[in-house]
Amino acid sequence: MNRALIVIDMQNDFCPGGALAVAGGDEIVQPINALMGQFDAVVLTQDWHPADHASFADNHPGAVPFSVIDMPYGPQVLWPAHCVIDSTGADFHAGLDLSRADMVIRKGFRPQVDSYSAFFENDHETPTGLAGYLRERGLNDLSFVGLAHDFCVAWSAIDAARQGFTATVIEGATRAIDLDGSRDRARTDMRAAGVNLE
């Protein structure tokens, strides 16, 4: 009764045709649906940004998407505008089975700080509340799937391991953005943090 499937950001903007499309992002929808039945709980995360979000290149005059700037909390990749609150791009992929989701947690809604991890904003100190929810339900064995492997999935799994959860990434049910080697780096960082890759 302690195993949760954490489904990261399975939203239109991260799937082919979306504003920040991850190659093959839609291929993992059915595999994720099939996994849901094997878990005691299913949690979905939803990237949820205001239009003036500081992670959008458009909000930095002269900046190009995928460049990196320094924010007060550290380096930040500037993304194309994506997952804007109430937009179609922010909706879950139409094929994703929402009926099994016990909990939907939104992240990235503070204009001045990005939030890759399901647990903390990118300042690494502002919690989303997810750890408390999982602990209160006794869910201590977490498996991560979804998008993107090398950003939100990796950061979530690393934070989970650091907080004492058992953390596994089911890599076949993820896809990576792979920006300048970020996929390999994410794998190295996850292993170093004690995340199981399967």
43 to 102, contacts with Zn ion by CB under 5 A?
A: 47
Q: Contact between 145 and ligand VGL (CB under 6 A)?
A: no
Residues 158-197 binding Zn ion (CB under 5 A) are none
CA dihedral for 142, 145, 146, 147, sign (positive or negative): positive
Residues annotated as catalytic (active site), given as ranges:
9, 107, 152
Shortest reach from residue 114's CB to Zn ion, in Å: 6
Nearer to Zn ion, 47 or 121 (CB): 47
The span from the CA of 6 to the CA of 153, in Å, is: 9
Q: Which of 47, 57, 93, 173 binds ligand VGL (CB under 6 A)?
A: 47
Binds ligand VGL by CB under 6 A, chosen from 4, 7, 118, 147: 147
For residue 142, give both structure tokens: 């977490």
Instruction: Tell me whether residue 25 or residue 168 sits nearer to ligand VGL (CB atom).
Output: 25
The interface mask with ligand VGL, positions 77-96, x = CB under 6 A, is --x-----------------
Q: Is 152 in the site for ligand VGL (CB under 6 A)?
A: yes
Nearer to Zn ion, 42 or 177 (CB): 177
Among 151, 156, 160, 183, binds ligand VGL (CB under 6 A): 151
Question: Which residues would be at the binding site for ligand VGL (CB under 6 A)?
Answer: 9, 14, 47, 79, 116, 147-148, 151-152
